Chain A
Amino acid sequence: MISAVNVSRWYGQVIGVNDINCEIGPGITALLGMNGAGKTTLIRLITGQLRPTTGDLRVFGQEPFANPEVYRKMGYCPEIDNFYEHYNGFEFVNYLARLEGMNAQRAKARTAEVIEMVGMTERAGRKIAGYSKGMRQRIKLAQAMLHDPEIILLDEPLNGLDPVGRREFMDLLGALANSGKAIIVSSHILFEVEQMTRSLLLLHRGRLLATGDLGVIRELIDKHPHQIRIETDTPREAAAMLANLPNIVSMRFERSGDSIRLEVREPNAFYDAVMAAVLEQGLQIRGISSPDNNLESVFKYLVEA
């Protein structure tokens, strides 16, 4: 559906994306990267708001820039939080339905359908100016689904949604992906992406750092020692027990005195061993966390790899 060959985009002397090569097909694909990685630039290139400085980007085999043929099959939920604030949700979506080429009657019916899909029926009559962030996200998604597009691009769609809203949103995206659509979701939160898909494009400083299955990237990450922080009221006793567990590379007490920082290989095996130690040997811990489980660490590992 989407193919990019050596696509670069520069803003004067600043690089947006650099030498991107990828193919995107049906299903959910996550576009993962920290702020400023080039996610929005890539989405804007795909949605034809920008032209590549060099390279060739095609959507359904066509150049997307200002191309109505492409837009007939593409829905876009932008990151921006701006609307015609004096419109109500229904009017806003209905106006965009008319721009899709629907007649007035069809536009109204379809608007009602998509508004119901995003759970906004009861609030669609209120002015957008009074909407919460979550309601705005839902209205943005509704307008992206209006014409039942084959590709839907969502730029940071989970921002501002509460946990229930996130779950509903993810379920909806899953259902759309299962119906054969290509869903591209950008995010800077690894955890968020893992809940939605295994397929991802990892962007870092404008470059495509990795593509493919999230599991492969996870494995690559797991080859490196993982940092794990264990909080406990009895650090010395806990350290003595932990020292006997497998896969530990290093261990040190933190200055606060109530936690231990470990470096371990194969973190999953280590977590299992910790659980067993808690149950069988009476290891006392208050909390366990992994400072590595964030994007910065992922990028660090991948760049080093």
Chain B
Amino acid sequence: MESAIFTHALRENLRIKRVLPWLVLGATLVFGFALKWSVFQNDADKGQQYASVSSIFVFHLLALISAILTSTIVNQEIENKTIVYLLTRPVPRWKLLVFRYLACSLVVALLSIVNTLFATAGVYGGLSGNPMLLKDIAALTIGAFAYGAFFMLIGLMVNRSMIVCLLFTFGWESAVPNMPGQMSYLSINSYLQAIAEHPSQGSNKGMGLLTSTLGDNTLSASTGYIAMFIFVATLVVISSLWFTHFEYLPREDAE
């Protein structure tokens, strides 16, 4: 039963119609900028260049992909009205939700990993020689699950959740990490940057602003792992309880 839920969700999210736009965007945006990044940071070494491209494009795209894909875990079924087939089966609702979430987050992680490979290929001219690659993959995978858990909860609580999720992605996640004091602790991106351990942008404030590392982020990688684990676990539990407790009907009937 669980494998069927997971496989179905994976199949839905891996449909070429869904994945292709992100791959094209990654290939043009991430790879394109990575290839020519030396134009913007001609004094930086390849590690610095990669870190900039990764922080600006790959990590922000991660949040965007997650906002688009994960916030629809339940909403898409509501919009398509197929939710009735799922909610009248002998499957605990939390299982339906969690296994769909796992599949969706996995796809988000895979797309983001492809993007980081694009960035590596653009900066280093191949897939080898990037000392930050493994840590970035770890951070992106954790980020996919963290953003996924957050957007899933928003999707369950808010009717038209996409707007909220996009505002969070472009507003909150871009601005808050750059704020002074401990405000950056309220951003998922700050924890992911701590896990990725990208080199500092130094005195380059413009680049610090773009990479969302301008704030006083003193988080360690281990703190990042622990915080994200607690964050994901808490949100998944809350989402499961929410989904089990509240009514979900096909869209036109819900209004």
Contacts and interface: CB of A to CB of B under 8 A. Distances in A.
Given A80-B84, A99-B5, A49 B249 contact: yes
A179 to B, nearest CB: 21
Given A66-B244, A84-B82, A71 B250 contact: no
B8 A51 contact: no
A96 to B, nearest CB: 6
A198 interface: no
Contacts of B5: 99
Interface in A37-52: 40, 44, 47-51
A51 B8 CA distance: 28
Contact of B86 (A40, A68, A83, A99): A99
A80 B81 contact: yes
Interface string B215-250: 000000000000000000000000000001001111
Interface string A142-162: 010001000000000000000
Contacts, number: 66
B42 interface: no
Contacts of B86: 99
Chain A binding site: helix, strand, loop or mixed by DSSP? loop
Nearest to B88: A76
Interface string A51-92: 100000000000000101101101010101011101000000
Interface string B68-106: 000000000000111011111111110000000000000
B65 to A, nearest CB: 21
Contacts of A47: 88
Nearest to A44: B249
Contacts of A44: 249
A6 to B, nearest CB: 20
B176 to A, nearest CB: 36
B77 to A, nearest CB: 10
B90 A95 contact: no
B247 A82 contact: no
Interface residues of B, number: 26
Which range contains the number of A residues in contact with the other chain? 20 to 34
B90 A68 contact: yes
A110 interface: no
Nearest to A147: B90
A282 interface: no
A13 B82 CA distance: 27
Given A51-B247, A82-B81, 6 more contacts: A47-B88, A66-B244, A76-B84, A78-B85, A80-B81, A100-B90
Interface of A: 40, 44, 47-51, 66, 68-69, 71-72, 74, 76, 78, 80, 82-84, 86, 95-96, 98-101, 143, 147
26 contacts: A48-B87, A48-B88, A49-B87, A49-B248, A49-B249, A50-B249, A51-B247, A66-B87, A68-B89, A68-B91, A68-B92, A71-B88, A71-B89, A74-B88, A76-B84, A76-B88, A78-B84, A82-B82, A82-B250, A83-B82, A84-B12, A95-B8, A96-B89, A99-B4, A99-B86, A101-B1
